[in-house]
Amino acid sequence: MGGALGLFKKTEKSLSELGTITDQNSFRLVRKLAEGGMGAVYEAYQLGAEGFEKRMAIKTILEDFTNNTEFVEMFIGEAKLVADLIHQHIVQIYQLGKSGRQYYMAMEFIHGVNLEQFIERHQQYRKRIPTELCVYIISRVARALEYAHKKRNRDGELLGVVHRDISPKNIMIEAEGVVKLTDFGIAKARNLMRDREGDVLMGKVQYMSPEQAAFEQTDGRSDIFSLGVVLYELLAGRNIFADDDTLVCIENVQKKPIPPISHYNPNVDDDLQRVIDKMLERDKSKRYQDAGEAATDLEYYIYKGGYGPTFNTMSEYLQNLFPEFKQAAKPVAKAPAK
C-alpha cells in the first residue's frame, strides 16, 4: 500500500511539471481534391522533424469568404465538434489552424471514394449494387450516428448532435473497405454549432426528413430518415424525392408516396422492406427512435445466416469496381531543398 501511494505522489508531482509544447505546423499541399460553396479540400503532407511526413486532407475557407462571419463560425464549430467525435466510422479532424487570414482544418485523408461516386460507377457499368453491401454500408453509418447522437461533453451533458446533411457525398468508402461519415459543417450541437432551424433551410433537400424540410426542430431521428433515403437510393438506383424544382422536392419529401423497393429492385425481400419502412416513417414517433436500433436491425439482416460482408469484402469489391485503387500510391515529388 505504501509503495503504491508513493508512486501516486510521484506521478502527481510530474503532472504538475507539465507545460505546453509550442511548435510551428507545416503542410505541403499536393493537389486540390474538391472545391464547392465556400471551401476547398486538398491532399497534403504534414511535415515534422527528421523528415517525418503524414498524409492528410486540408480543408480551407476560400479567401473570398474569410470575412463571412457566419461561415467562419460554422467552420470553427465543425472543427471543435468533430475533434471530440472519435469513432472508426467518422472522418477525424486533427487540428484547426489559421494561415494569414484563412482558417484550415487538418483532417484524416481518405484514400477512396464517396458514395455518390460509388453509385455513379455502378450506373456507368449498368450494374446493380449488391443488396448485402448496401445494407452493410448503411449499417456502418448508423453506428457512427448512434455514437454522435449519444455524445456528451466533459460535464456529462448530452450535446444533442444532429448531422443534418446525410447524403451520398458525405459518406466515404476507403480502399481498405472502411465506411466513414464526414462533413458535420451544418450539424447542430449544444454550445458548439449555431442552431438556425426555423429561419434557414440548410442541407440537400432531397435527403431531408419531413420535419427538417418543414423548418421544424430536428433531433437524431431526422438523420435516421435521411439515412433511409440514402439506403433507398442505393437499392433502387434513384433518389425517390429528387426534382429540379426545390419547392416540388420539398413537397415530395413531405407527401410523395414511397413505392416499395421491390418496384425498382426485386432482390429486396419483406424483411429488409420492413426496416426501410421504419427508417422512412414520416411520423417521427413511429420511426426508429435510436440510430443504434436501426443499425442492429440492419446488421441482423445481413448476419442472421451466420456470415455476411466485412470491410475486407467491401475492400475487394471496391477495388474491382475502381481498379485504380489496386495500384500502390505513387510517391509525390518533394519540393527541392533551398
Per-residue pLDDT band at 69 (split at 50, 70, 90): confident
Per-residue pLDDT band at 327 (split at 50, 70, 90): low
Per-residue pLDDT band at 333 (split at 50, 70, 90): very low
Residues 192 and 129 reside in one and the same domain: yes
What distance in Å separates the CA atoms of residue 279 and residue 299, rounded to the nearest whole number?
14
At 119 the pLDDT is 97
Indicate which CATH number applies to the domain containing 186: 1.10.510.10
Residues 167 and 296 reside in one and the same domain: yes
What distance in Å separates the CA atoms of residue 197 and residue 203, rounded to the nearest whole number?
11
Residues 125 and 88 reside in one and the same domain: no
How does the average pLDDT of the chain come out, rounded? 88
pLDDT digits over 220-260, tens only? 999 999 999 999 999 999 999 999 999 999 999 999 999 99
Residues 121 and 104 reside in one and the same domain: no
- pTM for this predicted structure: 0.88
Q: Would you say how long the chain is, in residues?
A: 338
At 73 the pLDDT is 87
Share of the chain above pLDDT 70, in %: 88
Is residue 327 situated within a structural domain? no
At 65 the pLDDT is 82
Residues 129 and 212 reside in one and the same domain: yes
At 17 the pLDDT is 67
Residues 175 and 126 reside in one and the same domain: yes
Residues 211 and 301 reside in one and the same domain: yes
Residues classed as catalytic: 165
Residues 77 and 223 reside in one and the same domain: no
Residues 229 and 264 reside in one and the same domain: yes
Residues 80 and 118 reside in one and the same domain: no
Listed range (73-82, 192-201, 259-268) with the worst mean pLDDT = 192-201
What domain range is 263 assigned to?
A: 112-321
Indicate which CATH number applies to the domain containing 91: 3.30.200.20
Is residue 188 situated within a structural domain? yes
Q: Which residues of 98-111 are buried (b: 16+ CB within 10 A; e: fewer)?
A: eeeeebbbbbbbbe
What Rg do the C-alpha atoms of the chain give, in angstroms? 22
Listed range (7-11, 49-53, 135-139) with the worst mean pLDDT = 7-11
Final residue before a domain boundary, out of 108, 133, 154: 108
Final residue before a domain boundary, out of 62, 79, 108: 108
Alpha helices in the chain (DSSP H): 2-16, 69-83, 115-124, 131-149, 210-213, 220-236, 246-255, 270-279, 291-303, 311-321
Average pLDDT over residues 35-42: 84
Residues 159 and 246 reside in one and the same domain: yes
pLDDT digits over 154-206, tens only? 889 898 999 999 999 999 999 999 999 999 888 888 766 556 665 667 789 99
Listed range (11-20, 189-198, 269-278, 300-309) with the worst mean pLDDT = 11-20
Final residue before a domain boundary, out of 85, 108, 131: 108
Residues 53 and 161 reside in one and the same domain: no
